[in-house]
Amino acid sequence: MVSNEVTVNNLRVDTLAFDKETGSLVVIEYKNTKSFSVVDQGIAYLSNMLNNKAEFILEYNENKQKTLTRTDVDWSQSRVVFVSPYYSTYQREAINFKDLPIELWQIKKLENNLIFVNQVNIANPTESFKKISPRDKRVDAVKKEIKVYTENHHLENKPDQIKELYQQIKDYALSLDDAINIKATKVYVSFRYNKRIIFDLTPFMSKIKMWLNRSAGTLKDDKGVFRDVSETGHWGNGDYEAVVEDDKNIEYIFSHIKETYRIMEGTND
């Protein structure tokens, strides 16, 4: 978190946060009513941020006591997150676009003062909000600068062999647990269990690079498939990288994916 109740250009933001993984600023809004437009308000917040970058950077620097410049921020991955105990059917359907930089999270208070937070998922979106949104200066600014990345972004124009290899890895990872989900960023696709990253991967034209989220010295790699990149610059999370060109070692790689998932799950099975 950067700060709460930030006012820029007469528009107040409940919470301003910084996503270290994507290097982007995130606006978080808390709601206790169904009577608001998630799209209109979300676009307004994003437009305000993009048109007042210096003010948001200043807010970050003053609160975090760090020096962040406009070029340090990936503005293309900015997004708005709404948090509310309930959403109407209309609000849920309003975000049913494949590239809308707005998320809905539902929060519930359970017994023993436990808090449950869950993202409202979109059901197979195919339409782009960039094509059907009306002409509006705020919408145009968001369309021009912000991009929501998907699996298709990484697989577009890749050979069938790479797409099939990616699908093999994906199918295996998702078969481990219903709680495992996928999040695409600008440079890689993450496979996560309860928000914790198991591994990241990036498809290239002739190979897939994978980064297993394990700390250096914690992986027993008898075949030498993984490389310790803890002292080397790399895109994904974790200290072990594998280059996958075919399915020769795929079962071996799967075993380490499962082992990493089991560690995160908290079992030794």
CATH number, position 246:
3.90.1150
Q: What is the mean pLDDT of the chain?
A: 89
Q: How far apart (Å, rounded) are the C-alpha atoms in residues 213 and 225?
A: 15
Residues in the chain: 269
Residues 66 and 139 both lie in one domain: yes
Q: What are the contacts of 170-174 at 24+ separation with CB within 8 A?
A: 172/254, 172/257, 173/198, 173/199, 173/257
Q: Let me know whether 159 and 130 are in one domain.
A: no
pLDDT of the residue at 266:
81
Note the pTM of the prediction, 2 decimals: 0.74
Position 269 scores a pLDDT of: 47
The most confident of 77-81, 85-89, 94-98, by mean pLDDT: 77-81
pLDDT at 267: 52
User: Which residue type sits at 189?
Assistant: V
Q: Which domain holds residue 52?
A: 3-145
254, with CB counted inside 10 A (0-12, 13-18, 19+), is middle
Number of domains in the chain: 2
Once rounded to an integer, what is the mean pLDDT over residues 38-47? 91
pLDDT in tens, 175-194: 999 989 999 999 999 999 98
24-30 and 196-203 strand pairing: unpaired
> Does one domain contain both 35 and 140?
yes
